[in-house]
Amino acid sequence: MAKSDPPFNEDWADLAAVDKLIHEPARLAALAILDAVESADFLYLQQATKLTKGNLSVHLQKLEEAGLIEIQKTFQGKYPRTLCKLTLKGKEDFGKYKEQMQSVLGSAA
């Protein structure tokens, strides 16, 4: 847990260990999409998540800063395309997150 987090029941360590960066719904959805494919562009992520451009940009930037995705600006013909791809760290962390959630939910799932 981060230093600024309030004290939490130590017996619930699994719950506290859930990756908060990934656990946010918009970022979780983006990572779920990118985990399934080689790469997806910004437009697809926006129409799939129904977020505004600004909102999605902020979330993707956080993921990029954490090293979970890489963002590549390219062109398709004369049209710009912003491609997002899960990094190796992103794949590993997303896999760990899914295991954490299964552990946290346990038989309640």
Partner 1 sequence: MSNSIQDIQKQTYRYYYQDGLVELAVGILFLVIGLDTYLISSLSPGSPAAIAAWIALPLLTVGGIYGVGRFVKNLKERHVHRRTGYIEYVPKRNPYRWVISGIGLALILAVILLPYDWLQKGSVAGGTLLFIILTSIGIQVDLKRLILVGSLSLIIGAGFAFSSLSDNASLAATIAAAGLILVLTGSFSFRKYLNENPLPEEDLHG
Minimum distance from CB of 24 to partner 1 (Å)? 13
Please give the Cα distance from 20 to 27 (Å, whole number): 10
Rule CB under 8 A: choose which of 19, 21, 39, 70 binds partner 1. Answer: 39
Question: Is 43 a binder of partner 1 (CB under 8 A)?
Answer: yes
Asked if 82 and 60 count as a contact pair (C-beta separation under 8 A), the reply is no
Helix-helix angle 42-49:25-36, to 10 degrees:
130
As given in the structure block, the two tokens for residue 37 are: 């494919």
Q: Which of 77, 88, 106, 107 binds partner 1 (CB under 8 A)?
A: 77
Chain residues binding partner 1 by CB under 8 A are: 28-29, 32-33, 35-48, 76-77, 79, 81, 83, 98, 101-102, 105, 109
